[in-house]
Structure formats: structure tokens, C-alpha cells
Structure 1
């Protein structure tokens, strides 16, 4: 590996890397637990490559490993990367919300060429992993996703139809009245708990995102971030609830690497 330049997004859970080699952009990711081994390996294999850093641990990486690296604000680098990938996918939105679901969730507005961070939430991938481990005993991300895909949230969640039963509900009965509101004992399966948790994360993110979209008169919502990678259950729910609330959800290829890519492109 002899990259011409490198972008690194150092978050709370993962290190995402985008690097250009022979005119092509490639992507890698590492657990934050591999920080020292991966960054020392990078220093040895690409000692002269220019590097740009972004994310919560960018200053730490600069101080400890790459003193000459540039630091790019996280929402700026994510916007640059997302815009590049959207063009690759043939997507052209002038104004949109960019929802970055990493360890937590950031809500940014791209309007008239400017990017600004509107708000965020502590509910994100870290919630999925932390609560998922408490609820199911499972600590592997892919296994949690698999559990969620096999479960039914309504076995753990109190639904609107449950509240109005045996009468008809004036609202959509499939909506959640209370996340985990149906759990009264230990009879709910791990699969159903994982599905309920994924549903709670999706609903929280969509409600916050669509409220911001209404406030700023935005129709298109772009979802990116590492929590979406190989996570079909979460993507399905985000798409479903966003459309239900009258907004257009979009997912882009390699969206988990927008921050790292944006840092790379800033060089």
C-alpha cells in the first residue's frame, strides 16, 4: 500500500480511512480498539503521504501520530464526502438534510451551498451496541443486526392498536405507543428485543430528522454513517418511517465513509 493521500475519520467506535492509490479511492475501517496498531502500521507503510483528519479523535491522532496532518471539521468533511458520493450515484439535490448515524447521530443542513449542524442525538450506533448487549448479551454488531432481522418489535413494543383494543384505533395501529412497553417478564426473545431496540433507534432518528426537515422546508433526507453498514433492518425502518412522515429518504453507496472521504478530498 503506497497511497498518494489519506483521509481518516476517527470516531468514538471506528476509524474509517479513505485513501487514493493509483488514481482510485479505497476504503478501510478499524475498531477504535485497533487505534495504536493501525495508525503505527500506517506511519510505517505511508510515511510521506499527506493526511487529513476528522472526527472526535482527530486532534488526538494529530498529536500522537500525524503532527503535520490537517484537521477538517466533522460536518464539513461529511458533507464533502456525501456530495461526491451522491454525484457518483447520479443523485442531485441542491438542499437536503444529512443525517450521520455513527456512535451518536448528527443532523446537518445543506442549503444554498452552505453546510451547518442543526442538532444531534445520543441515540445511534453506540445505543444499539450498548443496550443490545444489556438486552441480549450479544456484543457483536453483525450478530445483533441478524437478531433484529429475525425478531418482531411488536412482541416487545406496546403498539397503538394494543391501547385501543378491542376497538378500532383512530391512528395507524402499527405505530409504536411505547418502546419496550409490552415487556413484563423474561419471556420476550432476544430476537424480539433486538428488533424493538432497532425500531426505537430508527423512530428516534426519524422523528428528530423530519422535525428539522419541516422547520427548514427540506424534502430530501440523506442517511449516512457506519451504523447503516450491512444493517438492513435499520435501513428498512428509516426508509419506512421517513416516507410515512412525508419526506424522501436516500441512502448512498459507501455512506459509512463520507467523513474519511471528505477529509481525503480536502487535501
Structure 2
């Protein structure tokens, strides 16, 4: 049976076509109004007819605006936590994990088998990165922000431990961040590249540190990060620096097609 999973997020609409729990096709579109017309557009992009489907499942904050049926098929509305949890475990091949859904904002889900519950989260996410980038860099294009960040150095804007206390502390090395954007207080005049690197570091560190503490509190040794924020290479590197500095084992996973986790999970729940 073919199943369509759709995640109507604030920034992106992710769609997957699933058969026998395997992803056959997928697409990521810019989010517009959640409507029958949007579903028709999705099917057009996937080159599939509604008559070929056995189920339609939707998740995401905007999916509540969808009708209960579409061209004779029920539209199942799956809770965000269930969709994120199921999709992340399926993509990672795990049976349980603290799932970090890093999108426009950040939600953290305690996922165990077919059960998933919202555990905690943060208002800091991709929307934070792009909003501050528009203010400080004059762009909210994620690819441009990533390009700038790769060419920059966060120490151009961040105070490090060696700056503040003269060296490392505990297992943290001297070059670990002590104060995000601390150098700006001293009157530093950083480049756009260093500002971008500092913004990516700030967002990445906030998400990673909350994830570490949440996983410990939930009793889940493995962290899985999904969503579209990890699509940006500098963001993945920011996460990795936190795992390295805090010696996190097992290392958190970012599975292939991580941005599709919610749509995939919705289809699996259908």
C-alpha cells in the first residue's frame, strides 16, 4: 500500500511516498497554506495520483488547516511528537533515543519503540539563526549564511576560556567558548564571515547542550538529530565540537534524510 506522509512545517513542507515502510520518493517544498491545493501540488511533484494511495498522513503545525478528507481519502493528522519519534527511530535504526527535531525551532522527543512523548525543547533553532543573520548579515538565505560561516572563525566574536580565565577548565580546552559574542562587548569589529560563524556556534551550542542534559534526564543514552538545520555543514560541525568537548559517547547521530523524519514518521503512523 502506498502511503503519503506530509510535514507542513513553518518553513518547509516535506513529503514522502512510502511503501512497505520504505521511502520511494520524497520532496521538500517551500511552505504555503495547508490546503487541498497544496496536497494536489505535492502529488504533482511526486508524479502520483490520489487513486494510487492507500493513506494520507500529515503532521506539522499547519496540518490542522487540512480538510479531513482529500479526493475521497481520509487525511490522518498525526501528532508532531509521534511523527518525529517514529521517523527518527526508523531512519537511525534504533529502538529508543532522545530525538532532537532541529527545524525553525527545536523540539526534543523521548522516543521508545512506537511510543514518543515531547520531553523538552528550545525556541532557539533555524529561525533564530536566519532571523539574526538577516539583522546582522543582511541575508536570511541559509546557504549564504553557511558559506559565510565556513569561511569565518567564531573566535572573532566569541570570548574563549583562555580569554576569560587564562586556560581550560575541567575537560574543556582553552579554546572552548566562554561567552558567545563576548568580544563585541570589547568593541571588536568582526567580519561578516566571523559573525556568521559566531551565529552558527551560538545556535548549535544551545541546541547541543540542552540535548545532552535532556538525554541524561530522560535516561536515553543515544541522541538522534533530525530536521533541516543539520543540512548546513557548519551547523553539523558546531554540534560535533560540543560532542567532542564534552566527550559524549555514544556520539549523537544525524541519519541520512534527517529532514524527512517527521513526514516519514507520519506515514509510518498511518
- What TM-score, normalized to structure 2? 0.85
Cα distance in 1 for partners of 2:203, 2:190 equals 19
User: Within 2, Cα distance between the matches of 1:123 and 1:5?
Assistant: 33
Q: Which residue of 2 aligns with 1:251?
A: 254
CA offset at residue 206 of structure 1?
1.2
Number of residue pairs aligned between Structure 1 and Structure 2: 257
Structure 1: tracts of 5 or more residues without a match: 88-92
2: CA distance, partners of 1:206 / 1:51: 33
Partners of 1:220 and 1:96 lie apart in 2 by 5
Instruction: Describe the superposition over 1:75-118 as per-residue Cα deviations: whole angstroms up to 9, x where unpaired.
Output: 1111221222223xxxxx44321101011001111246532211
2:193 equivalent in structure 1: 191
What residue number does 1:79 align with? 85
TM superposition shift of 1:136: 0.4
- In the aligned structure 1, how far is the partner of 2:229 from the partner of 2:168? 34
Q: CA deviation at 1:168?
A: 3.9
Give ranges in structure 2 of 5+ residues lacking alignment. Answer: none
1:104-119 equivalence runs, <5 A: 104-111=105-112, 114-119=115-120
Matching residue of 2:24:
25
Match for residue 66 of structure 2 among 61, 86, 95:
61
For the residue of structure 2 that corresponds to 1:249, the secondary structure is coil
| Cα pair distance change 1:43/1:253, threshold 3 Å | closer
1:90 alignment counterpart: none
In structure 1, what is the Cα distance between the partners aligned to 2:205 and 2:111? Answer: 22
Preserved CA contact (<8 Å) 1:30 1:38: no
What whole-Å deviation, never above 9, does each CA across 1:167-222 have from its counterpart, x for those lacking one?
A: 44445221212111111557211111111011001110111111112223332111
Q: 1:51 aligns with which of 56, 60, 79?
A: 56
Distance in 2 separating the partners of 1:96 and 1:81: 12
Asked whether the 8 Å contact 2:86–2:114 carries over to 1, the reply is: no
- What are the residue-to-residue correspondences of 1:155-174 with 2, within 5 Å? 155-164=156-165, 167-170=166-169, 172-174=173-175
Partner of 1:174, secondary structure, is: coil
Whether the aligned pair in 2 keeps the contact of 1:224 and 1:252 (CA below 8 Å) is: yes
* Pair 142,35 (structure 1): closer, same or farther in 2 beyond 3 Å: farther
**CA-atom RMSD, angstroms?**
2.6
* Distance 1:214-1:41 versus aligned 2 partners, 3 A rule: closer
- d(CA) in 2 for partners of 1:192 and 1:249? 26
CA 1:65 to 1:148, structure 2 compared with 1: closer, same or farther past 3 Å?
A: farther
Give, in whole Å, the separation in 1 of the partners of 2:163 and 2:208: 23
Query: Judging changes above 3 Å, is the alpha-carbon distance between structure 1 residues 161 and 114 closer, same or farther for their aligned structure 2 residues?
Result: same
Correspondence for 1:126: 127
Shift of 1:145: 0.9
1:9–1:58 contact (8 Å) kept in structure 2: yes
User: Separation in 1 of the partners of 2:97 and 2:89?
Assistant: 10
| 1:64 Cα deviation from its structure 2 partner | 9.9
